[in-house]
Amino acid sequence: MSMNFSVQSNIRNYDVLIESDPDFIEQLAQSPQACFVVDENVWNLYSSTLLKDLPTSDVIVLPINEDRKSLETVQELYDQFVTLSAKRNLKLISFGGGILQDITGFAASTIYRGIHWIYIPTTLLAQADSCIGSKTSLNYHGYKNLIGTFFPPAQIYIYPPFLKTQSDPDFYSGLGEVIKLHLMGGELNFRDLIQHIPSIMSRDPDALLQAIRVSLDVKLSYMDGDEFDIGRRNLLNYGHDFGHALESTSNFAVPHGQAVVFGMLAANFVARNRGLLNEMLATEIARNLILPSLKVLPPVHSIEPEVIIDAMKKDKKRTGDLLALIMMQNNFDFIRINDLTPVEVASALTESKAMLNL
C-alpha cells in the first residue's frame, strides 16, 4: 500500500503525507508568511528537538484543554494573525492533537474567509482519525462541538514518533477509534489488528504507521460520497451512542475513545441479542481487542441503565423520539437502528458489567 494519498473533498482536494523522517518540519519552518500554532505541551516537549527550526517570533503557543475550544480562543488567534499579517496569503501551520486541530481549523476557515492551512497531528486520535474528514468544531455554552465548519487542511503530515510522548490515557483513547475503524474495515483488517495489537500498544512506529494508514483508509471509505455526514458517514459513530452517554454520565472521567470501546462492547451485546452478531465473533472481539485496550473502566454508577438511557436521550444527533444505535453484524456490515428499547439497553449493560467484572 502506498503511504501518501489524496483525499477528494467537495471543498478542496488535499494531501495526506506520511513521513518516516522529520525533515519535512525543517522545510515547513521556511515557509514564507507562515504562522505556527503549537499545542503548549507539544512545544514544551519538542521546542529544542523536532520543532527547533520553527522561527520563534512566528510561533503561537496555545495552552490546551477542552474548555479552550471556544470562540474566545479563536478570537485571540484572529488578533495575533492580524498582527502578524494583514493579508489573505497568511499560511497557518498547526501542531497538536484534536483540540488544537479543531481550534486552528475553525480559525483558518473563517479568517479572511479561509486561509492556507497545514496540520501536523501529534496524537493517535488525530493521526488515525480526526485529521481527515474536514470537520472543525468549537464547544458552546457547555455543548460539545456545537459550532463548526467543514474545512480540510491543505496538507496533513503524519509523523508517528510524536506519539511516543503521549500520556497513556490519551493514547488509549486514540486506540479506541483505531479499533473501531479496523472493525469497520472488515474481517481482514480485524484479524490483522488482533495480530498487531501488542506492538501497537508498545508504540512500535512501524506498527503504528500501518494501523494509522488502515484506519484513515477505512474512514475515507465511509466518507466517500458523504463528506457532509448525512448518510453513510454516520455509521462511523459505531460505539459512540453508548460512548457519548458514558462520557457524560462519568463526568468525562472516561476519555472519549475509551468510552467508545465500552460503547462497542455494549452495542455488540445488543446486536448479539437481536441475532445479528454471532456469539463467537462477539466474544472474539471482546477478548482480543476490547478487554486488552480498555484501560479506564467505567465507574459502576455511570453505567446504570436509567442514567445511560437518560444521557442517550439528550444526544444532539438524535432525530426522533426513540433511541438509536449503530451495530455491527456478522458480515462486518454496520447498521443503524432507531427502535432500541430500554430493556435491550439494560441487558446489554448488565452483560457488559459482568464481562468487565464490575
Ligand X SMILES: NC(=O)c1ccc[n+]([C@@H]2O[C@H](COP(=O)([O-])OP(=O)(O)OC[C@H]3O[C@@H](n4cnc5c(N)ncnc54)[C@H](O)[C@@H]3O)[C@@H](O)[C@H]2O)c1
Provide, rounded to whole angstroms, the least separation between the CB of residue 141 and ligand X.
Answer: 16
Find out whether 100 and 36 touch, Cβ atoms under 8 Å.
no
User: Using CA atoms, how far apart are residues 71 and 73, in angstroms rounded to an integer?
Assistant: 5
Q: How far is CA 38 from the centre of its chain?
A: 19
H-only helix segments in the chain: 23-29, 40-46, 71-84, 98-110, 124-125, 168-184, 187-201, 205-223, 240-249, 256-273, 279-285, 291-293, 305-313, 342-355
For residues 295, 301, 302 and 307, what is the CA-based torsion angle, rounded to 10 degrees?
Answer: 160
Span near ligand X by CB under 6 A; candidates 40-48, 82-90, 235-243, 329-337: 40-48
153 binds ligand X (CB under 6 A): no
Provide, rounded to whole angstroms, the least separation between the CB of residue 55 and ligand X.
Answer: 21
Nearer to ligand X, 171 or 269 (CB): 171
Nearer to ligand X, 165 or 234 (CB): 165
Provide, rounded to whole angstroms, the least separation between the CB of residue 273 and ligand X.
Answer: 29
Work out which of 18, 34, 36, 39 binds ligand X, going by CB under 6 A: 39
Find out whether 77 and 104 touch, Cβ atoms under 8 Å.
yes
Work out which of 135, 180, 182, 213 binds ligand X, going by CB under 6 A: 135
User: Using CA atoms, how far apart are residues 187 and 345, in angstroms rounded to an integer?
Assistant: 26
212 binds ligand X (CB under 6 A): no
165 binds ligand X (CB under 6 A): yes
Find out whether 219 and 132 touch, Cβ atoms under 8 Å.
yes
Number of residues that bind ligand X (CB under 6 A): 31
Q: Which residue, judged by CB position, is nearest to ligand X in the bound state? A: 98
Nearer to ligand X, 150 or 332 (CB): 150
238 binds ligand X (CB under 6 A): no
248 binds ligand X (CB under 6 A): no
Nearer to ligand X, 165 or 273 (CB): 165
Residue owning grid cell 479506541: 176
User: Using CA atoms, how far apart are residues 145 and 157, in angstroms rounded to an integer?
Assistant: 24
64 binds ligand X (CB under 6 A): yes
User: Using CA atoms, how far apart are residues 149 and 183, in angstroms rounded to an integer?
Assistant: 28
160 binds ligand X (CB under 6 A): no
Tally of CB atoms within 10 A around 175? 26
208 binds ligand X (CB under 6 A): no
237 binds ligand X (CB under 6 A): no
Specify the DSSP class assigned to residue 299.
Answer: P
104 binds ligand X (CB under 6 A): no
| Three-state DSSP class for residue 331 | coil
Work out which of 9, 70, 110, 145 binds ligand X, going by CB under 6 A: 145
215 binds ligand X (CB under 6 A): no
66 binds ligand X (CB under 6 A): yes
Geometric angle at alpha carbon 42, from 167 and 213, rounded to 5°: 70
Work out which of 35, 73, 81, 98 binds ligand X, going by CB under 6 A: 98
List contacts with ligand X (CB under 6 A): 39, 41-42, 45, 64, 66, 69, 96-102, 122-123, 125-126, 129-130, 133, 135-137, 145, 162, 165-166, 170, 173-174
